[in-house]
Each structure stands twice: as C-alpha cells, then as structure tokens.
Amino acid sequence: MEYTTDIAIIGSGPVGLFTVFEAGMAGYSSVVVDSLEEVGGQLTALYPEKPIYDIPGHPKVLAEELITKLKDQAAPFNPTYLLGKPVDSFLKKEDGTFTLTAGENTIHARSICLAAGGGMFAPRKPPVENIEAYEGESVFYAVRGKERFKDETIVIAGGGDSAADWAVELAPLAKHVHVIHRRAEFRAAEETVNQLHSLAENGNVTIHTPCQLKAISGQNKKLETVTIADLDGNEKTLEASKLLCFFGISPSLGPIVNWGLDMNKKTVNVEPSTMATNIEGVAAVGDIAEYGHKLHLILTGFAESALAIKTLQTYMDPDKKFKVVYSTSKGVPQA
C-alpha cells in the first residue's frame, strides 16, 4: 500500500510514540514504521511487566502501562502504524521529500524522524532443532502475563538478570522451575542469585549448572520434555510444559546503516540543540541519537522529540514561524 504523510517515524518505542504526539501538536501527520508486531520498543519486547520509577509524574509505572498511555496520548492525532516490517529502502528525492519502503508498504514523507533505539531486536535463540514450532505457545523469549505460567513446569535457560529474576518471580506460581545455565556462576544481581539458591534448597526450583539445552519434544506446539546436557555430554530429560530462553538480544539497525547518515557503531550523530542529522530533513531521537553527555533514558528522548519536531517544521515549512504553544492553551483534538 502507498501512504503519504508529513513525518515518517521509524520506531514505535516510547520516544517514537511521543514524537507522534509532538508532531500532532505542531499540526503534522505521521506514519510510524516498526519491525515488531507491537508498539512499545524495548519496553514491550523486553520488560513489559517491570516497574519504571524515573518517568516524571509517575512515581511507579509498569513499562507496558506507560506504552498504553503514550499510545493513548498519540491517538487524537490518528497516526498510521505499519507494524511487523522493517524499513528497507530510503530515497531522498530532488524536491526534498522522501520515499521509504517497509515490506509491501511505500511511504512518501516530507521528513523523517528516526526513533529506532538500539535497532530491531530479535531475541538470541538457542540452537535447538524445531524450536520455532513451539514459540508463542510453549517457548518464549520474554514474559508477557505471568498467569500463563501458573501451575506449569517451567524450564528457564540463561544466567543473567532476566533468567534469575523470572525464576524467582515465577516460582511461587509454577508447579516447578528448572533453571539451566552453561556456567556454574550466574551473572545476575547477588541478591536475586541468593534468592534463587534459597528456593533451590527449600522450594520448587532445581538449578542445573553447568548445563545446556540440547533438544525439546512435544506435540501440536505443546512442550512435553526438554533435554539438557552437561559439559561432558551427559544428557538428562526433564518433563516440562514451558520453556523460557533468556540469551539476550541481537539488535540491528538493518539498512539504516547504509543511508549515508553520520553514524557511530549503532547510533547516529546529531546536533543536540536540534536533533538534526547530517541529512537535511532527517532528525533522530531517543536511544539512536548520539551526542556528548547523552543519557540513554526515556525522559531524555521525550524532550528530544519536541526539539526534533521544531527542526523538521523548519525544514518542511521554512516560512512558518515556529511558536511554542502550550498544550493547556491549545488542547488536543477530541474524538
């Protein structure tokens, strides 16, 4: 499908979503492209149920709750979300407008705001045959909804914070939790590791170290067993109904790296007072935007969105005088 918009926003993380709001307040339409199937970036994909404590005005807010609120805040401006497809090609035309493609979608935009964070992230998967067949039903790379794990026998693979945190958090709900890690030591916070060992001594947790996943089996997406092996290759088969793998993520910016942007390894250099990149008409905000003393925090990204929209307005409508308009005076469009 073809879309025409004022601003194409690449990335629907918290900062991309707030950019929709800032664009809308300045009178601009937006199309948001994300490779993930859901909006929310890292918050939805990596830590939806973790509380965040450093969002101004929210003493404590769950990551997924913040994303719902940001989406609601952007809703009066009717953004178009094109999800599940990474951007692939990028063309700046002679008249200064841009054409992007994302799968079967073509987006014509007057300007671009990059809010692509650390890149498209895919969870690192273990080399276990046929694992895809169980994904979404029995095999997961993040926890969304703890209830799904109630009374289940869970195998948790990994040795970092996520693996240890979720083993401790899910143990009270689960029938049993097996934790598999290829080293004897966990890399997680000491307190959590102590809790894990205490659950292994007195609760329903079994720790298998040093061990690796070897194979899984089951039927119709329903997991029945997980086979693990120690470093000498001795195998053990565990009965299990859910498998959670926490081997980190491998982010990639995809073709963005070939667009001629002034880049570091995985970030784009911007002028911090404007968020302008080296390509006129392209601004960058949030984790992808880099400058001296940058703080890679959500609250930093929110302020950057406002600066970027001012910059893009100057590019799109150079004759229009930029004026700060208070939201209290202007309000937002009513549904």
Residue from 298, 307, 308, 312 touching ligand FAD (CB under 6 A): that is 298
Site for ligand FAD in 220-239 (CB under 6 A): none
Q: Indicate the residue among 36 and 154 with the shorter CB distance to ligand FAD.
A: 36
Residue for token pair 């009513």: 334
Indicate whether 30 belongs to the interface with ligand FAD (CB under 6 A).
no
Residue from 35, 138, 195, 267 touching ligand FAD (CB under 6 A): that is 35
Residue from 180, 211, 253, 263 touching ligand FAD (CB under 6 A): that is 253
Tell me the C-alpha to C-alpha distance, in Å, between residue 32 and each of 80, 85, 203: 6, 11, 46
Q: Indicate the residue among 79 and 117 with the shorter CB distance to ligand FAD.
A: 117
State how far the Cα of 229 lies from the Cα of 203, in Å rounded to an integer.
23
Residue from 8, 13, 139, 259 touching ligand FAD (CB under 6 A): that is 13
Q: Yes or no: say if 301 and 308 are a contact pair by the CB < 8 Å rule.
A: no
Site for ligand FAD in 255-274 (CB under 6 A): 256
48's tokens = 């939806």
SS3 assignment, position 164: helix
- For residue 142, the number of C-alpha atoms closer than 13 Å in the C-beta half-sphere is 17
Instruction: Write the DSSP symbol of residue 141.
Output: S
Give the residue closest to ligand FAD by C-beta: 117
Tell me the C-alpha to C-alpha distance, in Å, between residue 29 and each of 159, 241, 329: 44, 46, 20
Indicate whether 16 belongs to the interface with ligand FAD (CB under 6 A).
yes
Residue from 24, 48, 79, 118 touching ligand FAD (CB under 6 A): that is 118
Among candidate residues 12, 43, 213, the one with its CA nearest the CA of residue 129: 213
Q: Given the rule CB under 6 A, which residues bind ligand FAD? A: 10-16, 33-36, 41-43, 46-47, 52, 54, 86-87, 115-120, 253-254, 256, 286-287, 296-299, 301
